[in-house]
């Protein structure tokens, strides 16, 4: 598998470049990637799901201008993109992407489907290889098929030298726990389940990963924006809806202690997850260059150990 140090502390998640929630111009997408590269970020993650291939095309065009040996690239398998004959000009807003729904996602966890997905991603990326493959959202399709077909097919691709590392990416603790207990996997992408606000993956996923030598890439550490501001409010977004009152109160307590120590809540959120073994990288996404630069600087800001001690003493983190 790739040298884990090569992933870097921060990775750039390219879902926003697939017009997640709103349209992003080619120029803006390129500027965000430029900002990430300028900040020293060398790990980039995408998926066919993101904008029905748009994210892969934009990211591949940018990375084609960079030395191949200087970056690590991951994409995902499990969903094939196929023509959508019923397309009438509508956008893919049902899946949160502002792109024409001229193709549709088709689940395929078979060995042939996994290989086809990789080949088609390489075509969209315009590159000859990716370094890491994740099975995308196995919980949304078939966990048994993931164990029976998808993971063995991905491991075979790694053993053939077509990719360096394989794993699973999900928001589901059940799916992540099963993957962490699967022999032969290298990485897990844990989305929104190892954050300063909540750590449901800590009880089973983390110990299983440690036992099996699997490393974790964490995504969604701001919980959809809840932790991205110093003053979390009920107007914020959490997951795919509003903020539950109990969680809001919990996060507001954390914010108050952060303020006491002179630490911005987003800085604490970013650095908290990086303290968890076996997390090796945190992937974040933005289509705004200034936010990319800001996040990169947050990863380097000093945080006093006393902050973590007080949060733990207050029962706000494990």
Query: Which residues are within 8 A (CB) of 277 and not within 5 positions of it... i.e. 6 or more apart?
Result: 206, 210
CA distance 311 to 318: 9
CA distance 145 to 138: 9
CA distance 191 to 282: 10
Task: State the catalytic residue, choosing from 21, 43, 44, 50.
Answer: 50
Q: How far apart are the first and last CA of the chain?
A: 31
167, containing H or E segment: strand 165-170
Is 50 annotated in the active site? yes
Q: How many CB atoms lie within 10 A of CB 6?
A: 16
Sequential DSSP letters for 113-164: HHHHHHHHHHHHHT-S--SEEEEE-GGGT-HHHIIIIIHHHHHHHHHTTS-S
For the annotated catalytic residues, the residue numbers are: 50
């Amino acid at each position: 598998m790739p040298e884990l140090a090569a992933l870097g502390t921060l990775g750039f998640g390219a879902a926003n470049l697939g017009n997640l929630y709103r349209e992003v111009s080619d120029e803006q997408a390129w500027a965000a990637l430029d900002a990430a590269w300028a900040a020293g970020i060398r790990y980039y993650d995408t998926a066919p799901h993101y904008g029905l291939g748009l994210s892969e095309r934009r990211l591949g065009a940018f990375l084609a201008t960079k030395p191949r040996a200087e970056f690590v690239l991951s994409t995902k398998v499990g969903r094939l993109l196929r023509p959508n004959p019923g397309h009438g000009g509508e956008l893919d807003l049902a899946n949160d992407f502002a792109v024409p729904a001229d193709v549709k996602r088709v689940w395929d966890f078979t060995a042939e489907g996994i290989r086809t997905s990789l080949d088609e991603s390489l075509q969209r990326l315009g590159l000859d290889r990716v370094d890491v493959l994740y099975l995308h959202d196995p919980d949304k399709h078939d966990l048994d098929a993931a164990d029976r077909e998808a993971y063995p097919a991905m491991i075979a691709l790694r053993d053939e030298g077509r990719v360096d590392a394989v794993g699973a990416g999900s928001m589901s603790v059940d799916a992540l726990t099963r993957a962490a207990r699967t022999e032969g996997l290298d990485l897990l992408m844990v989305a929104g389940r190892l954050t300063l606000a909540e750590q449901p993956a800590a009880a089973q996923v983390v110990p299983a990963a440690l036992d099996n030598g699997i490393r974790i890439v964490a995504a969604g550490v701001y919980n959809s924006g809840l932790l991205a501001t110093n003053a979390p409010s009920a107007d914020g977004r959490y997951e795919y809806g509003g903020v539950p009152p109990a969680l809001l109160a919990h996060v507001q307590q954390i914010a108050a202690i952060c303020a006491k120590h002179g630490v911005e809540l987003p800085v604490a959120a970013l650095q908290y997850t990086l303290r968890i073994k076996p997390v090796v990288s945190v992937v974040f996404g933005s289509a705004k260059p200034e936010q990319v630069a800001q996040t990169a600087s947050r990863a380097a800001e000093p945080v006093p150990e006393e902050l973590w001690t007080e949060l733990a003493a207050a029962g706000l983190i494990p």
